[in-house]
Structures are given as structure tokens and as C-alpha cells.
Structure 1
Amino acid sequence: MASTERRLRMLQSIELSKGWVFRQGDITDSEWMPVKRVPSTVHQDLIDNKKLADPFIGFNELKAEWVGKTAWSYKLDFPTPSVPEGSWVALVFDGLDTFAKVKLDGLTILHADNMFLPYRVDVTKAISRSEKHTLEVNFESAFLKGAEIRAQHPEHIWAGFNGDMGRLAVRKAQCHWGWDWGPILNCAGIWKPVRIEVYQSRIAEIRTDVSLSAGRKSANVDVTIHVGRRGSQSLTAKISIRRDSTVLRSTSSSVSNDGVARATLRLDNPDLWMPAGYGDQILYEVDVFLTGEDGVLDSGSKRIGIRDVELVQQPDKHGKSFFFRVNGVDIFCGGSCWIPADSFLTNISEQRYRAWLELMIPANQKMVRVWGGGIYEDDAFYNACDELGILVWQDFMFGCGNYPAYPSILESVRQEAIANVKRIRHHPSLVLLAGNNEDYQVQESLGLEYNYEDKNEVNWLKSDFPARYYYESLLPKVVVEEAPSIPYHPGSPWGDGKRISDPTVGDMHQWNVWHGTQEKYQIFDSLGGRFNSEFGMEAFPHIDTIRAFVEKEEDLFPQSHVMDFHNKADGHERRIATYLVENVRTNPELEAYIHLTQLIQCEALMYGYRGWRKQWGDDRRCGGALVWQLNDCWPVTSWSIVDYYLRRKPSYYAMARVLAPMAVGIRRQHFDWSVTHAREPQTQTWELWAVSSSLDPVAADIEVRFVSVKSGKDIKQKIVKKGIHLVPNGTTSVVTDGEIDNIREEPHVLAARIWVDGNLVSRDTDWPQPLKYLPFPNRGVKVDVRGNEMHVSVERPVKCLVFEEREGCHLSDSAIDVVPGDPQVVFVRGLKQHDKPLKWTFLGASEQ
């Protein structure tokens, strides 16, 4: 009997995931329908009940808009749990989307209004009243509620980019109002787990603060435990730190009357957590057992890494630096921006998170930026980043708007920031918390009040840009209090109060390629700043992805109505057409057109990443570059480098090559053919360099060939440099004064290769621009399939040879440039013995 009582006194957690029903909430006699499982979203629940056509297909998004303008009710009947005498009962919602009234047995117990907040309600007395209970969650339309709140505050300037501005009044994923890559699907629902907890005492919070000694020879792990308790019994927290199954240190600490226990665990010669490519991702577990007179009452753990991180912002010859240093190592942060991976958030499984993030590793990406118009991501996201060694730049959830700051929303944001920083702060992958996405850009573009020299916070709240108070007061104070080891940055982009386009300070969103002045992508690197946290180029998704949302065969052409509907970017027709017409010979046949848009994206991102990484070696002139964007939330034409179905676009592979641990780069001087009315310069200079992420000196051999586009023959003797000593974690200039004679020399490809210890580690090519002036007949491409290898050879230079992205198959490379005399091997994983060979194409394939 005693052992049973002891077991019951431990915290019981009862998931309320099954048995729910839902219905339209503003129609009293509407039909109750079953919910497969909570967490859920109303759109998916309607789809499951065949009441809504899949909004991702065709024009069905339009047929689904009513869902977001309707109230919805969810209901669950459940029995009274076993409640030992002296215990508490709490109803816990990890997330409600968004305006929700919660009733238990007809009595209102909670009003929720923030999607990003967890809620906890003491229902001890209510539970004791009967043996069965009914839980109801009634959701108002966030779209209509946002419009209502907006109308209540005419003193505020409701302005921004993307979506209805009522979104600014709602603490909810801003992309639910639609974005320039996503549909208008304003969701509602119990979007995170809900449960009943029965306990006598519980662990409310485990905080871990890691500090390394000056030489990183030891580390202190300061553990603070906050306890929710009932009664006066003596409580003890038993704390240990282990690696895998080996306990390294352990101690005990009494819980004070105010419910706090503290301890410091010291590790000598700790194994450090390092980003991918720079070391191992060593993780430790901090375990806590809360014990009382009857034994263990609750337990919990936090997985941590031992590391320190610094955002280095120091004056230098270029202005003020902006780069990350982890455990004393400077890291060039090539990577991607991240949006929610599905419009219906509860459809993103732990496995899907892992699959998305695993794509970054073979692409040599080091950082992912969680964008401020989505959500604070699921624990599975950060866990995967910890395990894979991906650095996380985390925005707070403000995106492209002039946000209000009246008292009630200020308090809601404060609670939101505290809750989410507490939840994610222990992850070693987390290296930056940033105040917002492009809100200072909204302020600047609209001419809202902003005087950087005015440090009076009261004035900020009285101005027509009150959100400054969030980014420069509320949020940094929360970070200092809750996660002092994580650097904070007021916004993205942000540069110490200077114009957000200032290239000498802070981070930059460079959209004058694609948006803005629509510059040539060939000069991408000259447009950058100290850290380029957004830039990009659109491309169509793969043909199989297009077929997934185009229902009619007659709509399978580039300019069809449904194709345009699945591209939300303003003016996308003109922008895609501009970059195609400027650079390549267009082809209206769909698959050829797909390839051309993907080639343009491939080239644009290559020019950006290649040049900015080169600048890393110039006194850290560029500290990193994050492409907009890694992923999609639905099948769409967008800036993503991997489409909704995880099909990699060619640009994914181009990024991987220029971000490789060791990469050679070659580039001829840019000559703007548009400005000069297509006249060709008599001569052009070219340069050759190599970049290395190795922290040790490396000797390399480098070769440059000059290969005729027309004949495939070398037009002059190659250049070979032997035993070049590459600068560690930097850039080595090899040739700066090469020259091309466009009068006496026919159009040719500069083809560079680099070897280390006899192994070919990198290639690069530079082609005459624009590509549209070059003829591409009879390239003589051969792809010889030998088991899981595709051996590629050519008779004349080939541009952007792309292989089919077939489900279940993984390629070691694609979108490759190939020159005669330099065959390449592409490895394929997942292709079965009797499967058809992968299809392939290249620039000018139709001329064959």
C-alpha cells in the first residue's frame, strides 16, 4: 500500500490527445466532427472530415479563406483522474492558436490571446466536483479579432509589408495572413499538446548557465531549479550531469521555502560542442530528481553543450565587424533562413524537422535563421540543430510591421519573450536572439519617428514607432535576465541606428537583386555588407512538385493562371522574365523553363556566396550569408533552395560547392553589357583565389585552364601553381592580374581546380557573360551509369548539368559545370538495380 501511495504522489501527466470533437463555433446546431488527434489545426481537421479540399492544390486556397474568418469549438469528455490527498491538479496547454476561451464543465477557466504562450490553470477544486468532465475550447477568428483591435486603436499607424495589417495586433504567426511566398490560411486550434498534471510538488523550471574558464580547461554548470510545491514537507533536488550513460558529477540541494534549489557542477577538461565541420557535437544531460519524504516526486532534464559564443562587433578598416566566434574559433556563417515548414504547423513531425535540417550538412551550411514572421520553433528543431552542429539565429516574432505597444500587448509580449527564451536557452546551437525582422526597414521606408540618440524610453512609446521599446528595452532586458550568455541584436537588419542599407555595420538584407533596383546578380558580392542575413533569387520547383498542385494538364505551362497563383511574390512575372531575358535564351516549354529559372537561381546564389566568402579573408569584411530561404510551407514557386517536398533545387548544390571546407574561386571582371548596349570590352582582367576553413596551414596545387566554348579545346597553355600555402580560416589570393583578350581570343571558360595531398577537392568555372550570347550545340555529353555512380564526360563545355530529383534518391552533386578532359563522378544513393537511370538536362540541351 505504501509503495502504491508513493507512486501516486509522483507527478502524473495525462495527455489529452484523443477523443476530441470540433464544430463551427458560430452556428449553434452545427455538426460535431471527430478530431484524429490533438495537437491539430482546424484546416487539417476539416480536410480529414472531407469538409475542405486540400488548399495546397489548384485554387483551393481561395475556397478555404472562410475557415479563418469563422469561430471554432473543440470539446473533450474525460474522466476524473486519480488525485491523492494533498495533491494539485493543473490543466496545461502548451499552445492555443490564438483567441480562445476555455471552459471546464461550463465554467470559464481561461482566456487566451497569445499563440506563443503556454497556459497553466489550477483546476483542483473543479476536478473534485464530479467523476466526469467536459472541456471546451472556443476559438474566435484571429483575422476578425485583429481587425477589431486595430479599429480600437486609431492612434497607431498600422503599416507594414505583407498581409492585412490587423495581424500586427495579434500575437500569432504573422505568415498566417499570407506572405510573398505563402498562402492566406489563418489557422486556429490546439496547436501544441494539452494535458492534466496531478502532483504534490513539481519541477517548474530547470535553468542551466554554463561558464568556461579562460583556457577552456574547465567549465562550471550552474543549475537553478524552481519548484511548485504544496505543503511544508522537506524537499531535496538531486542533480547530476552525465554524458551518455556515464554520470560525471552529482550533488544535492535543499529546496528553499520559496521553491528554489541551486547547485554548481564543475567539469574538468570538458569536451566542447562545436559547429559542424569544426569539431564534434558533444552533448551532456543535466538530470534533476525532486525528492520528498515519500521518495521521488518529479524528475526532469536539460541537454546542454559546453561552449561559449561571441558576436564580434569591433571597429576595423571596413567599419565595424559582425561575425560569430565559437570557443575562440571564427566561423564564416554560410547558411539559410527558415520559415515554418508547413502552413499547418501540426503536420511537421520530428522526423520531417530532422530531414529538413539534415539537408544543411552535406551543403556545408553552418547557420539557420528562424525568421520573425513564423513561430518559435518546436523543441525537435533545436534538438536536431544541437545534434547536427547547426548554429541558430533566432528572431523574436515580429515581422515587417509597425507594431503597437499599448499596455496589454506589452505585457503579453513580455510573457511571451520570457517563456520562449526559457524554453530554448539551454541549446548550444542557439547563438543569437534578434528583436525582429525588417521592422526598422518599415520605420525607415515610412519615415516614422526614430532618433537613435534619444535614450528616453517614454519618448519611444509616445512616438509613431513605439515598437522600438520592444527591440531596444523589453527584449534585451529579458535576454540579459534569462539568457545572459546569448548575444542579442535589436533587429534584422540592424546597424547601430544607421540606415539599414549601410554596408559598414550590422547585418544587411540585400534585395537589390530581385527586388529594388534589380541589379545584375553577377555583382551580388559588391552589394553586400558585414553580414548578409537575407538575399535570394526565385526559381520554379521541380516538375513533380508542380504536378502535385496543377490539376489539369492544360495548365502545365509557365504562365498559366494556376502557376501564377502559386507564386505570391509581387511582380514575379516581370522579375523572373527580366533575369531570364538578360542572361539566357528563353524556352516556353515547361520543363526547359523550370531548368532556366533554376539555373538563374543557381548562378545568382553562387555569385553571392562565392564573393562574400572570399571577403571573409579580408579582415572578416563579410561574416556570413544566409540565403532567403531554405524551405517552403506549401508547393510554390519561391526563393527556396529546397521545395515543399524536400526536392533540392540546383542552387542547393551550387551553395554546397562554394561553402566547401576548401574551395577554389575564379572570376573575370564584370562588364555590364546592358549599360554599354551589348558592346564587348577589348580586355577583361580575371582573378583566382582559394578559401579554407581549416584552422591549420594547408598546401595545395591549383590549375587554371582556358577552354573554348565552341570547340572544347584549350585556347592557350594552362596555369599551374604548386605548393600554394593556404591561409588558415581565410582567403589566399593566387592570381590577381590575369587578362582576357576578347579581340584575339574566342569566348572561353576559365576552369579552375585545386588539389590537396593529391586529392581533387574543388572546382570552379567562370563563363563569358551573358550566357545568352553563347551557342550550345553538340556538347557531346555522356553519362555512364556504373552501379551507384554516374560518370560524366563532355566534348565541349557544359553549363548547369542537372539530374532528376527522384523521390528516395540522393545525389552527391548536381547543377555541375563540366569541361572536356575533366570527367566528374556523381554518386547516387537510393537508386535500385532495375530502376530507370535518372534524367538529366543542361543549358542548351534543346539545341542538341
Structure 2
Amino acid sequence: MTMKQVACANNWSLFWMLILSCCCCCCHLMPGDTFRPSAVVSAENVRLDLTTANGYPWRASLPNGSLVFEGHVPGGIYTDLERASILRSGPLLYRFNDGNYRWVAFNDWNYELDFDVDSNLVNQPGVFLVFHGVDTIAQISLNGFFLGETDNMFVRYRFNVRNLLKVEGNQLRVQFRSPVTVSRNRYEQQLMDYIVPPRCVPPEYQGECHANFIRKMQASFSWDWGPAFPSMGLWKAVSLETYQSITLRDVYVETSLDGSDWQVDLRMHCETAYIGATHSGTWRIQIFDNKDVLIHEFINDSLISGDEEREATVRFQLKIGADQVRSSYYYLVFTFYACEIEPWMPNGYGNPTLYNLSVSYSENEQVATTKNIRIGFRTVVLVEDDLQTGGRTFYLQVNDVPIFLKGSNWIPADVLPELVTPEYIRDLLTSCVDANMNSLRVWGGGIYELDEFYQTADELGILVWQDFMFACSMYPTTSWFLESVSIEVLQQVRRLQAHPSVVLWAGNNENEAALRGNWYGTLGDFNLYRQDYIILYVDTIREIVRREDPSRPFVVSSPSNGKLSEEEGHIARDPYSELYGDVHYYNYYANSWNCSSFPKPRMSTEYGFQALPSVYSWATVADPSNDDDWSFNGALLSNRQHHPLGNFEMELQVNSRLGLPKSNLSTGTEKRTGLEDMIYLTQMHQAQAIKTQTLHYRRHKYQLSENGAGLTMAALYWQLNDIWQAPSWASIEYGGRWKPLHYFAVDFFAPFLCILTELDDGTVAAFVHFDRQQDLVAGILTVSIRSWDLLDPLASFSSPVDQDVMAGEPVWIRSLNQLLDETGCTRETLYGDVHLSL
């Protein structure tokens, strides 16, 4: 074993040592050399993508052959039918097409490919057909030989085809079964033992039942903000992979501080050509800074043996000095400079500095496999300390810095994931940074996102709370289900683990609360469903995560009480306790512009209010000549309102805060004007309501109530993005247009802001809030009292603010009754404005 690491700098002995090293070891990169990722891999290791973009002509068809058309990989049946002009009622999301095209999901479909390969590939020791994403239930055959079945959208499938592949005339066939039919059959089979609820989604969802019996995007069967498009297809690439010895699939990276040095623990997850075969080769691990300058190199000779699944894991541990010396040279002129490893920090707390990690494996001095990824040096801890007032803290600490999570919840960017582009992902995530966000929660009813999502989050410094894909249901614990989930969790954890942006795993969305709250009538058999819950999320998922990724925290559910949930048998007596863990809070019947009704939790990871889509968005799906399409009470809007009582709740909130439009919402020619007015009013109400609730949570970061509530460390509103054009909680519409809420978020998520609020004792107080002490600036705080019908303030007050202000303490406070007397206002007409002049 050899290891190259430079530890100190700027002395003549090191100067001459580096000259000699340069002269004698020209074949290796030295610290200071620039990064050149290995782009050429030897013939022993080849990946051939059998995709449409790579020139491979797929066909899609009904099993009886009555309908045959061009298929696309990656892709899906809905988009292929639309592209072939077979769907004749207009675009997929136009008007009522989510129902008109439901017949697609009720049918089985075939995808087929005829292809040739280079003769050099056929006789390689390892020849594998790899399906990176199959949606979902399918049987796969090659040249008439059955390869196997798929039953999980989130699993990569690999088949050994060495003895089946031909140079010419290969026939690949993928036979999909209707996900609606399969899930219904599985549900009915389960009924012979006991019911696994829910029996179906609410009728307002206008969706399909039993998504919990199939491992695909749960929201593809519909949700209260999205349509049902239970698609089928090869939604990720299909590839032919050949190699003589091994291929490197995933790299585990864990960074931790050991004194003043960074320790990097690596696991190379490999796949081998043979079962049990031993390979002897050389690993080269190189780390480059963001200017592509080499800062560390590690070389190791090792033996690799594949197990019965042709898999092997190789582990290494590196030590990198906090002060790492680099050198740059031109001919024999050297320049030395010391550089400190810069930790990866979330947006607003520092730089999300990334380093390039290059890993390669060679045999007989020939590169067999290589992988280049970007990593960040960071640690993450979930802090749950006991408090004397009762309860425990609950917050994330990144590189020893407590982080207040500011952001939102991410749902799939499209109901058909093949339509999502890297550019769209970057646009949505950039919008998060533009709104001063530092966090997103990837919700558990969608998908484990594309690589581009996490790569972009790494670059932008967005922390990712990652749910596993289980939401709002009980789930079966049959052997076939647990086996499929185990493979899913293993593969997804290995795929995503190296991303510094991913800071927490959560086992499910709201299923602990659903079980304790008897959402689906489970109370009569509570112990039975509690046992299933523990088998799935604790004994299966948590154990795999602990084994595969000890580098970051895991919580069993969201919301949960953290450690207390575990202490109470994994189903807390009150999963919505303000004193522990995180909460989801919705209340559409209280005054949403008054913070008195809001909880004071340790973390708020869901909260929100609905609003209508913009006129521009609605115009893309409504018939411009149909007045009913432009009515608030029309059939189209009712069809798109999947939240039970959603329109009533929007009317209630708008009426109580702003008043309903004067134009009639339901009759005559005023219907269109009424809808446009309601669009504006619901969006403005939503923006102000979320602002009020978010500022409430941010203020309580530094405050602790008498009952022990407070010390809030997260405000993640529901939801960031839309999946179609409809009433929803989103701040960004389908396609990327910002709603007023997102513009408001720029201000209410600002790192430094002023908050004016009424306290419980009848006083009005102004607070200066800051994420970091260094954000605080000195200045003059001005509080203005205004009437809704006057431009000039009724009264103004000023108060100096210095940089020693105590967090959580008001910098200005007055009696509300006194303010009312001084201004002649009432509570209904009083409006306060606060700003800080530097």
C-alpha cells in the first residue's frame, strides 16, 4: 500500500522533495495538479444505453397487437400515446383528460426492442442487462427466454444475459401489467387474512384505490393536490453492461472530524462478473478542490471477491489534514500555499463547498472501472436534549452549527416523471435559494428524486429531509412486500448517501399519526397494525439504514416525537406534541392571520393553505370559450379540487379576512370575473397566512413558553411545487411560475428581519430576528400604525437597536389598548408596519 499526502509547507526541504518527486514520479498526479476525470475506460468495462436518444427504436403495443406505435425509453405509456396522436381529447392535463384517459391504466402494455451488438461485447465474462427504472409490474424476456419479473418502481434490476445475447437479431420484450388491476388483486388477496387500509382514497380525489399494495409513486393514483395517471413504462434508462472483472456501482462517503483532521470513510459497492471469483487490482482515490487541484491521493492494492449476488464492498479510511498544502508549478518554478479544507454549509450559513472525488480500479495497469462524484466535508447530528421545562430539543446541527430549517415540501415535479428535465429541477431549486430557503423535505408519497435533484441541492446548499416512499396508509408486511422494500431501501440509500445535502432519513409520512389517530379505522386491531408498523419501518427499513448509512440521523415517521416515539413503542401517545419532534399543522377554520391559534413546536415540517392557480396557468387547461370552465363553482374547477371541502374552506378564509368578490361567483356573465377575483384573493390570502405562521415559528426559535413549548427550529410550509394546474397549497405553479406566496417567502425567510406581533398579555411587540449573530446590524427600528384607508401613518415610534440585542427579546413593546386609544382605531382597522433603518 502506498499513500501520497503532503502535510506541511513552505520550507526548502519540502521544496526539493517535491522537485525530486516531480522528476521521478511523473506517472502520478501530485498535490497541486489539476483534475482530469478519467473519460476513457478500457474495453473490459462498457455501458451501452439501449435508449431512444441513443438510436434504439422501441415499440409499444397492446398485447393483442391491435395498437402498435413508437415507444420511448426513458418514457411512459401516457406520453408515448400522446406523442403518437392516439389520445384525441387534447393534451394529457387539458380539461377532464385525467378521467378521459384513465382507460390507459386499466390495460396491459408491451414494450419491445430489436437490436444488434458489437461482437466484442458478447463474449465478455460479465454481460448484464440493467433496468434502472421500471414502472412497475412487468415480465422481461430476451430472445424468447424469460429473465424475471419486476415489481418495484424504485429498484434497479440486473439480469445475467451472457449466454443469451447474440451479435445480431436480439429481441427484448417487456410485458407490463395494469398497476390498477394488480394492486386491486393484491388487496383482495390480503382480505383473506385481514384488511390493510385504507379501502380507497376519498371520492374527492377522483383516483384509484390500493396504491399501498404496489411499490410505485403513491401519488400516481391521485392525491388531494394531484391527478391519477397510474402510468407504465421504462422511466429510466435500460443499459447493456459488460466487464471482465468488476464494475463500481455506488460510493459511500462519510466525513467526520478527528481532532483537527478530516476523516473520510469510503465504501466501494461493486458488482463482479463471476460469483465468488477473486480479483486482484489497484484502487486509486483522488480528491480535488473546486479549482480542480489535487489535494489528496490514496493508492491501494487489494483482493475483491463477489458473493452469491455478484456483489462486493471494499472499505478504506483516509485522513486529510485540516490545513492541506497544495503546490502549483510551471517547469521548475514552484509556488506553495496552505489551504484549509472548507466545510460544506447550507445556504445562508456559509458556502456549500464541494470537492471532486475520483475513484478508479485497475487490473494489469488497465483501468476497469471508475466513478467521479462531488462530495462535501460536513457532519450532521439530530440534537434531542432534555429540557428542564419538559420535553426535548429537536434540531439539526451541521458542522456543529444549529440550523433553523427554512423552506418547503417537495412533491414530484410531474405526475409523469419522464417529463421532468434537469433544467426544470434546477429552476425550482434556484427559486428556493432566491427565496432565502435552506431546506426541502422530499415527501414520502412521490419518488426518490433524480440524481440531478440531489446534485443541484449539493451545489446550492439546500438541506434535504428525505422521506422513504410511504405515505398516509397502512402497508402490508407479507414476505414478498418486505423483500421488495428491502432491496428498494438498500439501493436508494447507497445511491443517495454520498450527497452532503441529504441530512436526514424519515421512514414514512404521517403513518404514526394515522395509526394513533385511527384515521383508517384501525383502533379495533391497534396491536395488529402497530406490529405491522414496527416490522416495516423499524425492523426492516431502520435496520437497513443503520447498517448502510450510520452517517446521518433516521426518524421513523414525520410527524413524530423522535426518541419519545421510540420509548413509547414507536407509536407516541401524542405524535403532535409541541414538546417533542416535528408536527404537521393545518387549521382552515381559525383566523389564519392571527398567530394565537398556531402551535409552538420544536419543528413545523408541514403547514399551509390552498389558493387557486393563476389566470395564466388556468388558461392552459380550460376551454377559453366555455364560461363554465371559468366559473369558481364550475365543473372543471370542481373536478380539479381534490381536497374535501377545499373550495368552501378557501371561501371561508377569504371572506373572513378580505371579503368575497362583489361579482357573482356562479351565475351569468360575471362568473369569469368572479373566478379571476377569487384567484387574486385566494393567492393573497395564502401568502399572508403563510407569512403570519412562518414568522410565528421563526420568532419562537428563541422563545420558550411556560408550558415548555417553543425553541422552534424548522418552518417547512406545504408545498413548494405543483404537479398540475389546480387549487393547491403550492407557492410555485406547475411550469415554474411564482405565486405571490413565493414572493412573500423572499421576505419572511430573509436571514435578518423584523417581526411585529400581538402577545398573549395584550401588548404589541416588535422583534428583531436573525439566523446568525453576524447577520445582526445596528440601526433604528421604526414602528408605524396605519389605517387601511389612509396612506400616511396614524402614529410612528422609533427605538434604537444595537448588535448586542438578546435573541428573542422584544426591542419595542406597547399596550394594544393604548395604541387603539392614541390612534382612534379598532382591532379590525389597525395595521402595523415595522422596518429597520440602518
Q: Please, what TM-score do these two structures have when normalized by structure 1? A: 0.82
Q: Does 1:753 align with 2:835?
A: yes
Deviation readout 1:427-450 (Å, 9 max, x if unpaired): 000111001011122212327899
Separation in structure 1 between the aligned mates of residue 279 and residue 252 of structure 2, nearest angstrom: 26
Separation in structure 2 between the aligned mates of residue 415 and residue 648 of structure 1, nearest angstrom: 38
Separation in structure 2 between the aligned mates of residue 343 and residue 714 of structure 1, nearest angstrom: 49
Of 420, 433, 440, which residue of structure 1 is paired with 2:492? 420
Q: Is the 8 A contact 1:460 1:469 kept in 2?
A: no
Separation in structure 1 between the aligned mates of residue 490 and residue 698 of structure 2, nearest angstrom: 36
How far the C-alpha of 1:209 sits from its partner, in A, is: 3.4
Q: Is the 8 A contact 1:524 1:607 kept in 2?
A: no
How far the C-alpha of 1:294 sits from its partner, in A, is: 5.4
Separation in structure 2 between the aligned mates of residue 286 and residue 260 of structure 1, nearest angstrom: 18
Separation in structure 2 between the aligned mates of residue 123 and residue 427 of structure 1, nearest angstrom: 32
| 1:10 alignment counterpart | 44
Q: Is the 8 A contact 1:525 1:608 kept in 2?
A: no
SS in structure 1 at match of 2:638: helix
| 2:569 alignment counterpart | none
How far the C-alpha of 1:69 sits from its partner, in A, is: 0.9
Q: CA RMSD in A?
A: 2.4
Separation in structure 2 between the aligned mates of residue 541 and residue 450 of structure 1, nearest angstrom: 36
- Per the alignment, do residues 364 and 156 of structure 1 end up closer, same or farther by CA in structure 2, a change over 3 Å counting? farther
Deviation readout 1:160-197 (Å, 9 max, x if unpaired): 35554421111111101110001011111001111101
| 1:762 alignment counterpart | none
| 2:379 alignment counterpart | 308
| 1:29 alignment counterpart | 65
Aligned residue pairs, count: 723
Deviation readout 1:503-561 (Å, 9 max, x if unpaired): 111111102x12xx656442366324211111100011111001011113312232221
Of 184, 187, 195, which residue of structure 2 is paired with 1:157? 195
Separation in structure 1 between the aligned mates of residue 361 and residue 790 of structure 2, nearest angstrom: 77
Deviation readout 1:567-610 (Å, 9 max, x if unpaired): 21111121111111111121142322211001110111011100
SS in structure 2 at match of 1:466: helix
Deviation readout 1:735-779 (Å, 9 max, x if unpaired): 234334445613443221113xx3xxxxxxxxxxxxxxxxxxxxx
Q: Is the 8 A contact 2:406 2:716 kept in 1?
A: yes
SS in structure 2 at match of 1:9: coil
Q: Is the 8 A contact 1:95 1:190 kept in 2?
A: yes
How far the C-alpha of 1:10 sits from its partner, in A, is: 3.1
Q: Does 1:486 align with 2:558?
A: no
Letter of the 2:655 partner, please give it. Answer: V
Q: Does 1:690 align with 2:768?
A: yes
Separation in structure 2 between the aligned mates of residue 506 and residue 109 of structure 1, nearest angstrom: 46
| 2:422 alignment counterpart | 350
Q: Is the 8 A contact 1:421 1:479 kept in 2?
A: yes
Q: Does 1:616 align with 2:616?
A: no
Separation in structure 1 between the aligned mates of residue 174 and residue 684 of structure 2, nearest angstrom: 49
How do residues 186-335 of structure 1 correspond to structure 2 at under 5 angstroms? 186-213=230-257, 217-227=260-270, 228-230=272-274, 234-244=280-290, 245-258=292-305, 259-269=312-322, 270-293=341-364, 295-316=366-387, 317=389, 319-335=391-407
- Per the alignment, do residues 710 and 460 of structure 1 end up closer, same or farther by CA in structure 2, a change over 3 Å counting? closer
How far the C-alpha of 1:724 sits from its partner, in A, is: 2.9
Letter of the 2:720 partner, please give it. Answer: L
Deviation readout 1:47-70 (Å, 9 max, x if unpaired): 000111322111111111111111
Q: Is the 8 A contact 1:686 1:738 kept in 2?
A: yes
Separation in structure 2 between the aligned mates of residue 524 and residue 92 of structure 1, nearest angstrom: 55
Q: Please, what TM-score do these two structures have when normalized by structure 2? A: 0.83
- Per the alignment, do residues 498 and 81 of structure 1 end up closer, same or farther by CA in structure 2, a change over 3 Å counting? farther
Separation in structure 2 between the aligned mates of residue 346 and residue 184 of structure 1, nearest angstrom: 16
How do residues 305-704 of structure 1 correspond to structure 2 at under 5 angstroms? 305-316=376-387, 317=389, 319-446=391-518, 463=529, 466-495=532-561, 496=565, 497-511=572-586, 513-514=587-588, 518=590, 520-523=592-595, 526-553=598-625, 554=627, 555-587=629-661, 588=663, 589=673, 590-618=675-703, 621-668=711-758, 685-696=763-774, 698-704=777-783
Q: Does 1:72 align with 2:109?
A: yes
| 1:783 alignment counterpart | none
Of 32, 36, 50, which residue of structure 1 is paired with 2:85? 50
| 1:177 alignment counterpart | 221
Separation in structure 2 between the aligned mates of residue 521 and residue 201 of structure 1, nearest angstrom: 64
Report which structure shows greater RCO (CA 8 Å, sep ≥6): 2
Separation in structure 2 between the aligned mates of residue 320 and residue 417 of structure 1, nearest angstrom: 29
How far the C-alpha of 1:647 sits from its partner, in A, is: 1.1
| 1:797 alignment counterpart | none
- Per the alignment, do residues 468 and 709 of structure 1 end up closer, same or farther by CA in structure 2, a change over 3 Å counting? same
How far the C-alpha of 1:708 sits from its partner, in A, is: 3.2
- Per the alignment, do residues 255 and 574 of structure 1 end up closer, same or farther by CA in structure 2, a change over 3 Å counting? same
| 2:793 alignment counterpart | 714
Q: Is the 8 A contact 2:208 2:228 kept in 1?
A: no
Deviation readout 1:636-679 (Å, 9 max, x if unpaired): 11000111021111111222212111100112358xxxxxxxxx
How do residues 117-136 of structure 1 correspond to structure 2 at under 5 angstroms? 117-128=155-166, 131-136=168-173
| 1:140 alignment counterpart | 177
Higher alpha-carbon deviation: 73-82 or 517-526: 517-526
How far the C-alpha of 1:208 sits from its partner, in A, is: 3.1
Higher alpha-carbon deviation: 646-655 or 114-123: 646-655
Separation in structure 2 between the aligned mates of residue 287 and residue 528 of structure 1, nearest angstrom: 46
Of 94, 97, 117, which residue of structure 1 is paired with 2:135? 97
Higher alpha-carbon deviation: 683-692 or 278-287: 683-692
SS in structure 2 at match of 1:725: coil
Letter of the 1:469 partner, please give it. Answer: I
Which sections of structure 2, spanning at least 5 residues, go unmatched? 1-39, 306-311, 323-340, 566-571, 664-672, 705-709
SS in structure 1 at match of 2:47: strand
Separation in structure 2 between the aligned mates of residue 331 and residue 557 of structure 1, nearest angstrom: 45
How far the C-alpha of 1:7 sits from its partner, in A, is: 6.8
Letter of the 1:13 partner, please give it. Answer: R
How far the C-alpha of 1:726 sits from its partner, in A, is: 5.3
How far the C-alpha of 1:346 sits from its partner, in A, is: 0.5
Which sections of structure 1, spanning at least 5 residues, go unmatched? 1-5, 452-458, 671-682, 759-848
Separation in structure 1 between the aligned mates of residue 730 and residue 603 of structure 2, nearest angstrom: 20
Separation in structure 2 between the aligned mates of residue 79 and residue 344 of structure 1, nearest angstrom: 30
Separation in structure 2 between the aligned mates of residue 133 and residue 646 of structure 1, nearest angstrom: 42
Separation in structure 2 between the aligned mates of residue 382 and residue 566 of structure 1, nearest angstrom: 31
Q: Is the 8 A contact 1:632 1:640 kept in 2?
A: yes
Deviation readout 1:304-326 (Å, 9 max, x if unpaired): 11000111111223521111111
Separation in structure 1 between the aligned mates of residue 805 and residue 238 of structure 2, nearest angstrom: 54
Higher alpha-carbon deviation: 591-600 or 393-402: 591-600
